[in-house]
Structure 1
Amino acid sequence: MKAIVKEQRAPGAILKEVPVPEIGDQEVLIQVKATSICGTDVHIYTWDEWSESRVKPPYVFGHEFAGIVVEKGKLVNNVEVGDHVSAETHIVCGHCPQCLTGQAHICANTEIIGVDRDGCFAEYVALPAENLWKNDRELSFEEASVQEPFGNAVHTVLEGDVTGKTVAVIGCGPIGIMAVGVAKAAGASQVIAFDLNNYRLDLAEKMGATRTVNSGVENPLEVVRKLTENNGVDIVCEMSGHPIAMDQGFKMVTNGGRVSILSLPVKPVEIDVTNDIVFKGITVQGITGRKMYETWQQVSGLLGSGQVDLKPMITHHFPLEDFEKGFDLMIEGKCGKVVLHP
């Protein structure tokens, strides 16, 4: 089969023929119909410090996809051949304290497909059947392929009450853009989107942002003061990972508010804990993955009801062979979500 392989411990990747995966008794083979490029894939492609410390080439990367079950192991009974599926990409152990107390999304022994094991930038991918999520056949493969990152956005926004609240989304990469749509659907009174990229700010507006702010042109803290009558925003969804933006997020949140952090800063970030956390009495949440499988139920509900429409932020499509064009767009920030078709 064709697959995009991270061949060497260096920038780039190659398209090559690799064997179709073999499946075990509790696994399923899926024909990939659409696979989208994630920021994590860009880290691996460009070979930054994080990927150098984490991944072990050569292997097939990619972790966001939708496809059709074409073969199942003899012990699999939750899906059938022909089902349309996506997958929870965190493969968990099932026996650590977190897994045993309903917190599998923070399993201490998590393996991620496309990071720790072969992924889905290929014609076929093999996965444990318990990780599959059956999709409505009316949902396009393109939209279904971005449910995994959409789940990150849902988890970040809905970790607390949103109805009638003011929400700041800092960082309008694809997940930040989706977080705008989730906040709007959840009944936020204002959704303020911050970024330095006007292309992505335009996408955030299409997804429902009530105000967009180019942080290189306007002062984010001044904008928030004016929009909230000096009170600050109720909720900050931090998606940028930039030290200055993160500090601004803590400064713009209101007393008793919430800061939910999905971003992954590459270096330690300096925060005024005394004044911006303790004296303000705020809640700070680290967000990883998706709750298994509460978040997936929320994702399906938001998409099935039409409350969130992901189509505006899926901006580019390429055949698998043209993957380099997709990565170039992601690196330049001139896209929303890029979908590859094997």
Structure 2
Amino acid sequence: MKAILKEKPGPGFVLKDVKKPEKLGPREVLVKIRRTSICGTDVHIYKWDEWSQTRIKPPMIIGHEMAGEVVAVGEAVTQVKIGDLVSAETHIPCEHCLQCKTGRMHVCQNLEILGVDRNGVFTEYAIIPETVLWKFSAEIPLDFASVMEPFGNAIHTSLVTDLTGKVVLITGAGPIGLMAIQVAKAAGASLVITSEVDSTRIQMAKENGADIIINPLKEDLIKKVYTITKDGVDILLEMSGNKKALEDGLKCVTMGGEASLLGIFGGSIDINLDSLVIMKGITIYGITGRRMFDTWKIADELLRNKKVDLSKVVTHILPFEQWEKGFELMLNKKCGKVVLNLD
């Protein structure tokens, strides 16, 4: 079968033929991958940045976002059957630690990530534990089912607190930030303000329903927010992983407000917790992954009932063989989500 590999340390990937997996564990499932999409994590691995060098052990098949069809099951599998269409939760829990036993599998102490700690889904067939498979509703197109995992990030970040009637600031209009705009609107936010510097993403934020878009390189974000809101925003959704965006975003939060942080900063950052958080009485939520499987149920219902339109986020659907073009688009940030079609 064809697979996209991080064959050896260093920048880049290679597409090559590898042996199709055959032997399944008792609770493992063989999935024929029909769609897969490129994540920012895949771009980090492609570039072979500092994080990748400490985490990835080549050779390895990369990729974790997918939609596919079950073609074989292990002898103890009970949750899916041959022919089922599935997506995958990419955080693979041990099912034994305290967090797993108390309904918090997404922060499992022994967590493994598909396409990071084990072979992923940039390939024609992948072995995936039944524990993390989600049978998505038949009404959801494969292209959108393949991005349910990052969509879940947007949902988890947005809905960790009640947005009904709230003024929301989203810092960063990458694909997950764009999804969060739609989620916030669907959840009843009264006003969604988005902060973004890239012209392509500013246009996409408009298309995804942001009420107000501020380019902090051209306008004073804090001054503009307080001019619009008087008291500041109720909720900050930090999606950028940019220190300045976080700092300014916290300054925009009203006294006693809330901040939900998904962006990854790549190391320690220096901010004034005294003035930005403690003395303002702000509640901060650290977000990783998706709640299993509460978030997936919400994602399924929003897509099935067309409360969110991911055609405004999925900008490119390419044949699998054009994966290099997909990565070029991602590297240049001239796209939303890029989906690769294996049919």
Taking structure 1 as the reference length, the TM-score comes to 0.98
Separation in structure 2 between the aligned mates of residue 168 and residue 20 of structure 1, nearest angstrom? 46
Contact 2:91–2:112 (Cα < 8 Å) also in 1:
yes
2:136 matched to which residue of 1?
135
Deviates more, 1:278-287 or 1:197-206: 197-206
1:272 matched to which residue of 2?
272
Contact 2:139–2:304 (Cα < 8 Å) also in 1:
no
Separation in structure 1 between the aligned mates of residue 321 and residue 309 of structure 2, nearest angstrom? 28
Cα displacement (A) at 1:138:
2.2
1:332 matched to which residue of 2?
332
Structure 1: which amino acid aligns with 2:67? A
2:80 counterpart of 1:61: no
Q: Deviations over 1:123-172 (max 9, x none)?
A: 11111112110012221110000000000000000000100001111111
Question: What is the correspondence of 1:31-110 to structure 2 with a 5 Å cutoff?
Answer: 31-110=32-111
Contact 2:73–2:82 (Cα < 8 Å) also in 1:
yes
1:10 matched to which residue of 2?
10
Separation in structure 2 between the aligned mates of residue 191 and residue 104 of structure 1, nearest angstrom? 31
Separation in structure 2 between the aligned mates of residue 21 and residue 280 of structure 1, nearest angstrom? 54
Cα displacement (A) at 1:3:
0.6
Q: Deviations over 1:187-225 (max 9, x none)?
A: 001111111112112112211110111221122112211
Separation in structure 2 between the aligned mates of residue 34 and residue 24 of structure 1, nearest angstrom? 24
Cα displacement (A) at 1:321:
1.5
2:282 matched to which residue of 1?
282
Separation in structure 2 between the aligned mates of residue 272 and residue 251 of structure 1, nearest angstrom? 10
Separation in structure 1 between the aligned mates of residue 193 and residue 10 of structure 2, nearest angstrom? 38
1:167 matched to which residue of 2?
168
2:314 matched to which residue of 1?
314
2:226 matched to which residue of 1?
225
2:341 matched to which residue of 1?
341
Deviates more, 1:70-79 or 1:330-339: 70-79
Contact 1:247–1:270 (Cα < 8 Å) also in 2:
no
Structure 2 portions without partners, runs of 5+: none
Contact 1:169–1:239 (Cα < 8 Å) also in 2:
yes
Name the SS for the 2:123 alignment partner: coil
Separation in structure 2 between the aligned mates of residue 19 and residue 233 of structure 1, nearest angstrom? 53
Cα displacement (A) at 1:67:
0.7
Separation in structure 2 between the aligned mates of residue 302 and residue 214 of structure 1, nearest angstrom? 29
Cα displacement (A) at 1:274:
0.6
Aligned Cα root-mean-square deviation (Å): 0.9
1:253 matched to which residue of 2?
253
Separation in structure 1 between the aligned mates of residue 206 and residue 286 of structure 2, nearest angstrom? 26
Contact 2:256–2:283 (Cα < 8 Å) also in 1:
yes
Name the SS for the 2:32 alignment partner: strand
Separation in structure 2 between the aligned mates of residue 79 and residue 56 of structure 1, nearest angstrom? 30
Structure 1 portions without partners, runs of 5+: none
Cα displacement (A) at 1:268:
1.3
Structure 1: which amino acid aligns with 2:76? L
Identity %, equivalent residues: 51
Contact 1:176–1:239 (Cα < 8 Å) also in 2:
yes
Separation in structure 2 between the aligned mates of residue 122 and residue 200 of structure 1, nearest angstrom? 29
Name the SS for the 2:162 alignment partner: coil
Structure 1: which amino acid aligns with 2:160? E
Separation in structure 1 between the aligned mates of residue 142 and residue 17 of structure 2, nearest angstrom? 24
Separation in structure 1 between the aligned mates of residue 122 and residue 29 of structure 2, nearest angstrom? 16
Separation in structure 1 between the aligned mates of residue 13 and residue 216 of structure 2, nearest angstrom? 33
Contact 1:90–1:110 (Cα < 8 Å) also in 2:
yes
Matched residue pairs, number? 341
Separation in structure 2 between the aligned mates of residue 181 and residue 7 of structure 1, nearest angstrom? 38
Taking structure 2 as the reference length, the TM-score comes to 0.98
